[in-house]
């Protein structure tokens, strides 16, 4: 996980760099679910209840807010 300078996070933030379980390819029997890093740039503001999933890229100056209607 890479987090830039001066981020602001509200409460109930979740960061998931992998799946909650393994997933295997049926034919090759190799693991198909590989974890990935999360990149969060400089001066990112994240509101409450946001979920950052594996492989997410949030660029510098972004404002993320979840609005439920």
pLDDT tens per residue across span 1-34: 999 999 999 999 999 999 888 889 889 988 888 8
The model carries a pTM of 0.79
pLDDT greater than 90 at residue 69:
no
Q: CA nearest 37: which of 57, 13, 60, 55? A: 55
pLDDT at 3: 96
Separation CA 23–CA 47 (nearest Å) = 31
Q: Of 39, 38, 50, give the one whose Cα is nearest residue 9.
A: 50
């Amino acid at each position: 996980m890479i987090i830039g300078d001066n981020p602001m996070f509200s409460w109930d933030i979740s960061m998931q760099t992998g799946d909650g379980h393994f997933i295997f390819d049926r034919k090759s029997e190799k693991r198909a679910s590989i974890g990935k890093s999360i990149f969060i740039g400089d001066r990112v503001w994240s509101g409450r209840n946001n979920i950052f999933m594996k492989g997410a890229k949030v660029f510098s100056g972004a404002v993320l807010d979840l609005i439920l209607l």
